[in-house]
């Protein structure tokens, strides 16, 4: 798995000797010996030395709460894991008598004291009120002072007067501190090796909701309120970038991936914000040979019958198959290298192809050559042309033309995407069309209409679904997809201008 390789590569390069814990060995399909051989091969591939290859092994079942050094040993508790840590992991090296040296590993934020640098005190002692020097990633110093010193007990925080080498603490009073920067005494400015912060790879544009239902259930709806919230987020979320957008009321927000941005948007909607979100865009940069884009390591585990469809989809999205293995249990493991663009919107397709049984993981690997244009979505959208409440009568016909996102009784407006068409190109429709009643039609006829279950869009689903001419509308109680131009005539004129410009 890419994440396993990444963590192990860093640990082995620092000379650490890992303890291997083989979990879930109580399951009928468990194969602990084969897994142990695979782990050994992985260590060899990562250039582990002889001492690291002689790793201790603990067998465990986390669900059943037991661990054992041998499969035949008594299975009573997790104590063998704790004993292995004490035996094989050396105590941290710390010099409590040396000049103070502290490195920020992560950042917290408090409205009263500002940014809080959280990390381990490598050397010396630190007291509340001490003067400090903060060394940035280039070694440039700036003066600071300890305003507040925070310790941690369990899940809670405690205020401290003094901390010693080896303690994990939070230090407030250093303006603009970033992960990886070193705090030390002014008389001995000694910087530790900096910690790299991953750069953003994906961006979206956030703007106030200007749809017909704007303000119906949100508390914060203006551009000023959205801007203030994003500025507060950047105080603790150091990998987030906020820049002016394409309009005065829009904000370009860049993060380390779709999940990073989804967490922010979901947090804002739960806090009462209403906003619209554009289609995710990959951040490119100029390289020595031209434009470059981010590539990701992709790890997939699927049942063997579904592997063919997944391989075809990843190949169509520009992926390169690096490794393929099929176990005796019929599980196929795939290792791909794919452009980040190709993975936008892939998760929904993947879950459909594997009937929800597959596992997908991907992480940033590197920047590589630009792979040219890629098609984002094969099918078009079913777009409402009128405002009203959805009727069963209208959906009975529409469900034959695609997958619906709405149910009878939902309120829709012109320009809202109410489903995915089974064909390419947008399909204008009227899901609020009422049944005309006369002597031959009964008002209770709709009660006998059989409708397919609507596909309710989650925030992640909608962000992956939207195209360049669409927006995701997010409110505290709803997630909708809509066209940027709500009026059908405006959309047709824009399409003609785009076509004439392309020709």
Q: What is the CATH number of domain 101-184?
A: 2.40.30.10
Q: Which of 209, 171, 200 is nearest to 294 (CA)?
A: 200
Pure H helices in 372-442: 392-398
Q: Does domain 285-369 have CATH number 1.10.1740.10?
A: no
User: Measured between alpha carbons, how far is 1 from 340 in angstroms, rounded to an integer?
Assistant: 18
Q: Which residues of 354-460 form beta strands (DSSP E)?
A: 359-369, 381-384, 388-389, 402-404, 411-412, 416-421, 427-429
Q: Count CB neighbours of 370 within 10 A.
A: 16
What CATH code is assigned to 2-88? 3.40.50.300
CA distance 473 to 299: 32
How far apart are alpha carbons 479 and 464 in whole angstroms?
13
* Contact criterion met (CB below 8 Å) for 114 and 174: no
What is the rounded distance in angstroms from the CA atom of residue 307 to the CA atom of residue 326?
10
The SS3 call for residue 477 is coil
Query: Distance between CA atoms of 476 and 213, rounded to whole angstroms?
Result: 12
How many CB atoms sit inside 10 A of residue 42's CB? 15
Per-residue pLDDT tens for 376-393?
777 889 999 999 999 999
For residue 337, give the H/E element and its range: strand 331-339
Stated pTM of the model? 0.77
What string of pLDDT tens digits covers the 503 residues of the chain?
445 665 676 677 777 788 899 998 888 878 888 888 888 888 887 778 888 888 899 999 988 899 999 988 888 899 999 999 988 887 777 788 889 999 998 888 888 888 899 999 999 999 999 999 999 888 888 999 999 999 998 878 899 999 999 899 999 988 888 888 999 999 988 888 887 777 888 999 999 999 998 888 889 999 999 999 999 998 888 889 999 998 999 999 999 888 889 999 999 999 999 999 999 998 988 888 888 999 988 889 899 899 999 999 999 888 999 988 887 778 888 989 999 888 887 887 888 899 888 888 888 888 888 888 777 777 889 999 999 999 999 998 899 999 999 999 999 999 999 999 988 888 999 999 988 766 555 555 555 678 888 888 888 888 888 988 999 999 999 999 999 999 888 888 888 888 777 65
- Do 317 and 344 contact (CB within 8 A), yes or no? no
Residue 199 has a pLDDT of 82
Residue-level pLDDT at 40: 87
33: Cβ contacts below 8 Å, ≥ 6 apart = none
pLDDT digits (tens, 9 = 90+) for 16-39: 788 899 998 888 878 888 888 888
- Please report where in the chains the tokens 């410009």 appear, as a residue: 501
Which CATH number applies to 381-502: 3.40.50.300, 2.40.50.250, 3.30.950.10, 3.90.850.10?
2.40.50.250
Q: Which two tokens stand for residue 348?
A: 């929904």
Sign of CA dihedral 423, 427, 432, 438: negative
Closest by CA position to 485, among listed 465, 471, 500, 464: 471
Q: Residue 205 is inside which H or E element, if any?
A: strand 202-207
Q: Calculate Rg over the CA atoms of the chain.
A: 28
pLDDT, tens only, 239-277: 899 999 989 999 999 998 888 899 999 999 999 999 999
Domain ranges for the chain, please list them. 2-88, 101-184, 285-369, 381-502
- Rounded Cα distance, 146 and 136, in Å: 17
């Amino acid at each position: 798995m890419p994440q396993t390789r990444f963590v192990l590569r860093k640990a082995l390069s620092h000379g650490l000797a890992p303890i291997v814990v083989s979990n879930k060995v109580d399951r009928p399909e468990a194969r602990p010996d084969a897994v142990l051989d695979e782990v050994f091969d992985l260590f060899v591939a990562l250039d582990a030395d002889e001492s690291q290859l002689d790793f201790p092994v603990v067998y465990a079942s986390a669900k059943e709460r037991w661990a054992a050094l041998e499969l035949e040993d008594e299975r009573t508790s997790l104590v063998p894991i704790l004993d292995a840590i004490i035996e094989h992991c050396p105590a941290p090296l710390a010099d409590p008598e040396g000049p103070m040296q502290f490195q920020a590993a992560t950042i917290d934020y408090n409205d009263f004291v500002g940014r809080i640098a959280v990390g381990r005190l490598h050397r010396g002692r630190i007291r509340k009120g001490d003067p400090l020097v903060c060394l940035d990633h280039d070694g440039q110093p700036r003066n600071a002072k300890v305003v507040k010193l925070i310790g941690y007990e369990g899940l809670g925080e405690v205020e401290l007067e003094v901390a010693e080498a080896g303690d994990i603490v939070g230090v407030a009073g250093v303006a603009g501190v970033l992960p990886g920067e070193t705090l030390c005494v002014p008389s001995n400015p000694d910087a530790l090796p900096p910690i790299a912060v991953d750069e953003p790879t994906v961006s979206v544009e956030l703007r106030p909701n200007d749809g017909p239902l704007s303000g119906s259930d949100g508390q914060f709806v203006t551009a000023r309120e959205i801007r203030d919230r994003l500025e507060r987020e950047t105080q603790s979320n150091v990998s987030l970038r906020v820049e002016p957008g394409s309009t005065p009321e829009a904000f370009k927000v860049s993060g380390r991936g779709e999940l990073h941005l989804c967490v922010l948007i979901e947090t804002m909607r739960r806090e009462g914000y209403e906003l619209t979100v554009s289609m995710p865009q990959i951040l490119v940069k100029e390289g020595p040979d031209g434009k470059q884009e981010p590539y990701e390591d992709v790890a997939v585990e699927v049942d063997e019958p579904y592997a063919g469809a997944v391989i075809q989809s990843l190949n169509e999205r520009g992926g390169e198959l690096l490794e393929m293995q099929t176990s005796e249990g019929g599980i196929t493991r795939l290792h791909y290298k794919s452009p980040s663009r190709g993975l936008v919107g892939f998760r929904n397709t993947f879950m459909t192809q594997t009937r929800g049984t597959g596992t997908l993981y991907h992480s940033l690997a590197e920047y590589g050559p630009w792979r040219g244009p890629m098609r984002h979505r094969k099918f078009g959208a079913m777009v409402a042309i009128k405002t009203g409440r959805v009727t069963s009568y209208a959906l009975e016909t529409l469900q034959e033309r695609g997958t619906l996102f709405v149910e009878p009784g939902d309120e829709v407006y012109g320009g809202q995407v109410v489903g995915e068409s089974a064909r390419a190109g947008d399909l204008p429709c009227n899901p609020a069309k009422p049944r005309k009643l006369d002597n031959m039609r009964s008002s209770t006829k709709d009660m006998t209409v059989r409708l397919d279950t609507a596909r309710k869009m989650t925030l992640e689903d909608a962000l992956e679904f939207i195209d360049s001419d669409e927006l995701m509308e997010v409110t505290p109680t709803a997630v909708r997809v809509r066209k940027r131009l709500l009026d059908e005539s405006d959309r047709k004129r824009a399409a003609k201008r785009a076509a004439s410009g392309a020709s």
